[in-house]
Amino acid sequence: MTTAPIHPTSETSIGFGSRVHSWVISVDHKKLGMMYIGAGLIFFMLGGIEATLMRLQLMKPLNDMLTPHGFNQMFTMHGTTMVFLVGMPVLLGFGNYLIPLMIGARDMAFPRLNAFGLWLFIFGGLLLYYSFIGGDGLYGMGGAPDVGWFAYSPLTSKAFSVGHATDYWILGIMVSGFGSMTTAINFMATILCMRCPGMTFMRMPLFVWLMFTVGILVLLALPVLTGAQVMLLFDRFLGAHFFDPQQQGSVIFWQHLFWFFGHPEVYILILPAFGMICEIIPVFSRKVIFGYPLMVAATLSIAFISLGVWVHHMFSVGLPPWLNSIFAASTFLIAVPTGMKMFNWIGTMWGGNIRFTVSMMFATGFLVMFLFGGLTGIMLAVVPFDWQLSDSYFVVGHFHYVLFGGTMLAVFSAVFYWFPKATGRLLSEPMGKWTFWMFMIGLTLTFFPMHLSGVLGMPRRVYTYQPGRGFELWNLISSSGVPFQIVGVLLLVTNIIKSLINGRVAGPDPWDAWTLEWATSSPPPSENFPKIPTCTSPRPLWDRKHPEDPDCFYE
Amino acid sequence: MTSIPHTNLIPSSAPSRGKVGMACLIFAECWFFAGFIVAYLFYIGKSSSGPMPREVIDIKPVLVNSAALIASSFTVIAALRGLARSHMGSFRFWMALTIVLGSYFIYGTAMEWRGFIVDHHLTISTNLFGTTYYSLVGFHAFHVIVGLCLLTTILVLSLMGHIHVVRDYLRVELVSWYWHFVDAVWIVVFTTVYIVGMRP
């Protein structure tokens, strides 16, 4: 059985060149989704290399492996890559792959626009990375961008950013941002217009609800960033004064614009992860998700409140106390719907018949790590506490728990869960368990000590530190977590390649799941469903498997 | 299997995906403009040197301009009505009038800019007023030009006989949505630049 061809079509008989060609010209949402995820994984490894170099530099005090300038480039490229070229495309890729399958549609609403978005993202990423070669510009100075991922002015002005490094940062992000916006438009149109008969809003899988909310946030936040970047381009090329203090321009104005984008962006990166967890935990707990309507309400309120919390990135700027207080209060408020979700997931697992597959292990790991990152986030919402710890390693530890321990663990969980659907092969479970423990150990070793070195006063974005200030041990432990994470990534990649070649054949529904993507073959045919399915409840497949006791009786 | 009731299947009454797509695009564009409008409001009266808005802005030609652009929103509605009734002559007439009015708006903006640059030596790099004025009004004018390109394409296609009511009505309607959006943004820009921004 294991040697059965994955693709029963004639694809195996055609040459390599024409197979690549068929992917390049594809407008199929499944191929585009996989290309998003694949390209995101490649950028993930590039961003990982940059992080490794930084951890090597900080392993011991007064190290000189990287120059100060090189270190600035590394943290800028690492942050920019992970947010814009890993987080967004991988999550949008999952959305692309899963939304039409989950709502019983044949494709996205605008397939060609979809392909356009993918290629914009890829070219935007290449443009950003070309800065390593072309960033020197005519001045012979520069290289990769070195202004931090939030590119505060006046660092980005012509006087402080000579050469074209900053221009590559602006244009690379802008181009891939246009790609994300087209994808968001596609998500909205697909979810609103392409649902199969019976798929009412309150029967949609929660992943689809979460991606719908992400679509709104992308359309709302990214244009503001694009506008701010256009202003910056005008400053740099046309001599405008948006962020030029010498002509009464305000550098704080950039911070407001950036974080008005930046905070919804954080939720753009975490809401899809919530969606994955909402699908995976019920299936492996053998229980219906606890509090479906509450989950939807919590999602929408998170999206709404996320528009009004951005100043908590700017507490140390020196804004008026009443303003800081308002934004501290709104930041506390956003923890309420997030906490509801946490309790709903635990409520789903409570009393369930839990099956600890690798996917479920990652989902459980997500709950633990995200809770920790969320709690340090609430600590940072306390203004005086933030004054003490702003721009310290405490903040770095906090957001790595949220983005790596949260988003990325959910993505790994999703990879193990949906890989059989996308390829027809199961990933190896024993190898997956090793991957899981490598990541859990590596994450804790690397990011937990950062809280301690941060409290002790170690500032972020500084290329080295003096001995004798108590930072040595914590930095050494942080760096010692890196090999575990590298092994984790290598195991995952090996697992994917090995399982593609001779993994166990999955069949259409290996997890005994309930949503419509499991109703078609694995991998799905190009039209997704031979016959458009109908939906009778939030768990259409349960209804089909258990006609004697369907969910629709209890709606 | 037959015991599952199918009475609660909703009939498919989903909105058109073209309409949703265009509405989403307009939503995103609103937030793009919001950044520039906030920048304009934030920097009113903060220029460290002249010329200031009250010294250079002549409101009369702008009012004529605005009237032309607002009128073009009504002519595009008339054009759509003609298309719905398959009166292609009326459709083309109102479409052409819309394009003329939109082009007049662009001409008026160009004349205003010419006056600023040649007579008052105000460019994007002169002061904060120049910076925020040219970027806000310029991006609006850019959107008008994009709209004009779309409208002109439709007019040319219809003159070549390629516009069919049943197949293309929705497409023309979506372009008209975009045109109304451009018009609505102008009302906000006008309020920002020529009313709020003129206060001493």
List the beta bridge partners of residue A392: A459
CATH number assigned to the domain covering A29-554: 1.20.210.10
Please state whether the peptide bond connecting residue A449 to the residue before it is cis, i.e. omega within 30 degrees of 0: no
Asked if the structure places residue B9 within a domain, the reply is no
Chain A / chain B CB contacts < 8 angstroms? 134
ipTM score over 0.85, yes or no: yes
Is B10 part of a structural domain of the chain? no
Closest CA to A303 of A214, A219, A223, A378: A214
Residue A112 vs residues A186, A223, B29: alpha-carbon distances, Å: 10, 22, 21
**Which pLDDT score, from 0 to 100, does residue B123 have?**
95
Q: Which domain holds residue B192?
A: 18-43+60-198
The pLDDT assigned to A508 comes to: 93
Per-residue model confidence as pLDDT tens digits over B106-123: 999 999 999 999 999 999
The CA distance from A369 to A440, in Å, is 9
Mutate to test the interface with A, among B41, B131, B133 (most CBs of A within 10 A): B131
Interface contact B13, partner A, CB < 8 A: no
Q: Which residues of A are less than 8 Å from B27 in CB distance?
A: 219-220
User: End-to-end alpha-carbon separation of chain A, Å?
Assistant: 41
Could you tell me which residues come within 8 angstroms of residue A5 by beta carbon, excluding any fewer than 6 positions away? Answer: A12
At B173, which CATH number?
Answer: 1.20.120.80
Q: Cα torsion at B131, B107, B144, A264 (round to 10°)?
A: 10
> What pLDDT is attached to residue A12?
54
**Any idea of the CA torsion for A326, A332, A338, A340, to the nearest 10 degrees?**
-120
Query: Does pLDDT of B7 surpass 50?
Result: no
Look at the pTM and tell me if it is higher than 0.90. yes
SS3 A283: helix
Q: Which of B3, B6, B7, B9 to mutate against chain A (most A CBs within 10 Å)?
A: B9
Of A184, A238, A544, the CB nearest to B125: A238
Instruction: Collect all residues of chain B within an 8 Å Cβ-Cβ radius of residue A189.
Output: 17, 20-21, 24
- Section B88-116 average pLDDT: 96
Angstrom distance (rounded) from CA A173 to CA A242: 20
pLDDT digits (tens, 9 = 90+) for B55-70: 999 999 999 999 999 9
* HSE (side-chain half, CA atoms, 13 Å) at B119: 10
SS3 B6: coil
Quick one: pLDDT at residue B200?
62
Q: Which of A188, A227, A249 comes nearest B20 by C-beta?
A: A188
Q: What is the C-alpha separation between B13 and A197, in angstroms, rounded? A: 10
Q: B7 touching A, CB under 8 A?
A: no
Report how far residue A86's alpha carbon sits from residue A44's, in angstroms, rounded to the nearest whole number.
Answer: 6
- In this predicted structure, the answer to whether residue B81 has a pLDDT above a threshold of 90 is yes
Q: Where do the domains of chain A lie?
A: 29-554
- As a whole number, the mean pLDDT across chain B is 91
For residue B131, tell me if it sits in a domain.
Answer: yes
Task: Report the alpha-carbon distance of residue A48 to residue A70 in Å, rounded.
Answer: 16
For chain B, what's the residue count?
200
In chain B, what residues touch A227 (CB-CB under 8 Å)? 31-36
Rounded to an integer, what distance in angstroms lies between the CA atom of residue A214 and that of residue A363?
20
A373 neighbors A405 (Cβ within 8 angstroms): yes
pLDDT by 10s per residue, chain A, length 555: 344 444 444 445 678 889 899 999 999 999 999 999 999 999 999 999 999 999 999 999 999 999 998 999 999 999 999 999 999 999 999 999 999 999 999 999 999 999 999 999 999 999 999 998 877 765 656 688 999 999 999 999 988 888 888 999 999 999 999 999 999 999 999 999 999 999 999 999 999 999 999 999 999 999 999 999 999 999 999 999 999 999 999 999 999 999 999 999 999 999 999 999 999 999 999 999 999 999 999 999 999 999 999 999 999 999 999 999 999 999 999 999 999 999 999 999 999 999 999 999 999 999 999 999 999 999 999 999 999 999 999 999 999 999 999 999 999 999 999 999 999 999 999 999 999 999 999 999 999 999 999 999 999 999 999 999 999 999 999 999 999 999 999 999 999 999 999 999 999 999 999 999 999 999 999 999 999 999 888 899 998 898 888 887 776
Q: For residue A454, give the nearest of A517, A376, A520 by alpha carbon.
A: A376
> What pLDDT is recorded for position A528?
94
Name chain A contacts of B31, Cβ cutoff 8 Å. 219-221, 223-224, 227
Residue type, A286: R
Question: Nearest 10 degrees: CA dihedral of B95, B100, B103, B109?
Answer: -130
Residue B192 included in any domain: yes
Assign 3-class secondary structure to A500-530. HHHCCECCCCCCCCCCHHHHCCCCCCCCCCC
CB contact under 8 A, B127 and A241: yes
User: How far is residue A441's CA from residue A436's CA, in Å, rounded to a whole number?
Assistant: 9
Select from B17, B48, B125 the Cβ nearest to the Cβ of A239.
B125
In a domain, B1, yes or no: no
Residue of chain B with shortest Cα separation from A543 = B4
**Is residue B6 a part of any domain in this protein?**
no
> Where does A190-314 show beta strands of DSSP type E?
none
pLDDT value at residue A140: 56
Which among A248, A256, A549 is the top mutation candidate for probing chain B, defined by the most B β-carbons within 10 Å of its own β-carbon? A248
Q: Is residue B75 situated within a structural domain?
A: yes
Structural domains counted in chain B = 1
How far B39 CA sits from the closest chain A CA (Å)?
8
CB contact under 8 A, B5 and A552: yes
- Dihedral sign (CA A464, A468, A471, A472): positive
